[in-house]
Amino acid sequence: MTELGNRLKEARKAKGLSLEQIQEMTKIQKRYLIGIEEGNYDIMPGQFYVRAFIKQYAEAVGLDPEELFDEYKDDIPTAKEDEVPQRITNVKTTSTKAVPTKSTKFFDYLPQILVAAFIIGAIFLVWVLKGGNPSDDGKQEETVQVEESNQSQNIKEESKEDSKADNKQEVKGKETKKEAKDEKKKVKKKSNKDQAIQVVSTNGRKTIYKLENTDEFKLTVTSKGETWVEISDGTGKKYFSNMLRNGESQEHDLTGQTAAKIVVGFAPDTEIKVNGQTLKYEQSATDLVRQDIEIQFEKKEE
């Protein structure tokens, strides 16, 4: 047992925790936890797992992993390229679109209403100036009622016509949008069908591919067992860096990026798809379980 393994074991017992409880807390298999306590790092699936597992173990028993790495640096494999952060927190933002409000039709007919009111007022004034002749009262009242009725009927008919025109315009707009959307789907489907993934070069455990003849770049990484996966783009921004259990997957749309980089901890249990097309490992997954994949992407010109 190494000094580091003994230190972790004593901290675990001091908290009254069993290896089964540590396994449940960290999701690290018990046999790997035993290997850490005994200093037997050869049983790990790869050297880059050692530091990650020790870090999770230390955090579970309340120890500072950075202090342990510094104090026992001679006992821990130092593969800097394998030191990756445990978790990446993705913050999704949502946008709120302003909803336009429909203006009322009232103000469109306000001038006509004012004209009708003016006519009524003028008729009433004439009647007053004439002394309010009783013989003309019935006729004037009837004329006013007829004019008001005609004015109201005209307003209703115009309102109906405007409503019908708005409905026709709205239906036509929806049909146009649907046709454009269907056409866009057809273009994308054809684009993905013609896409090609070519091998550019291989060097050690790194393979570079080139994605061509497509205008989108959607990446899916799925675990068929247990594997460590790290996904980042050409700028170095990380989208995921953690363990993938059996059946778990990561999907990312990198259409706006020029490249994607995938660190695969255990290639036999890791499936990579680009726009739904399975990426074939250029180097044997069984012979080289740890692989670094880079996919270069240049959007197809329309």
Give 67's contacts (C-beta < 8 A, 6+ positions apart): none
Question: Quick one: pLDDT band at residue 61, thresholds 50, 70, 90?
Answer: very high
Poorest-confidence range of 125-129, 184-188, 258-262, 281-285?
184-188
Poorest-confidence range of 23-37, 65-79, 125-139, 224-238?
125-139
User: Is a pLDDT exceeding 90 seen at residue 165?
Assistant: no
Mean pLDDT on 37-56? 88
CA 161 to chain CA centroid, Å, is 44
Poorest-confidence range of 60-74, 91-105, 134-148, 281-295?
91-105
Nearest residue to 205 via CA among 268, 264, 123: 264
User: Is a pLDDT exceeding 90 seen at residue 81?
Assistant: no
Give, in order, the Cα–Cα distances in Å from 74 to each of 85, 119, 165.
Answer: 21, 103, 81
Give, in order, the Cα–Cα distances in Å from 123 to each of 126, 128, 140, 159.
Answer: 5, 9, 8, 28
DSSP-derived pairing of the beta strands 218-223 and 270-274 = antiparallel
Residue 79 confidence (pLDDT): 57
Poorest-confidence range of 172-176, 183-187, 232-236, 266-270?
183-187
Strand partners, 233: 260
The CA distance from 138 to 52, in Å, is 100
Q: In this structure, are residues 268 and 219 in contact, taking their beta carbons and an 8 Å threshold?
A: no
Higher pLDDT, 174 or 96: 174
Poorest-confidence range of 159-163, 174-178, 214-218, 278-282?
159-163
C-alpha dihedral sign at 133, 137, 138, 140: positive
How confident is the prediction for the chain on average, in pLDDT? 80
Mean pLDDT on 114-120? 86
Other beta carbons within 10 Å of 33: 23
Residue 238 confidence (pLDDT): 92
Question: Quick one: pLDDT band at residue 101, thresholds 50, 70, 90?
Answer: very low
pTM tops 0.75, yes or no: no
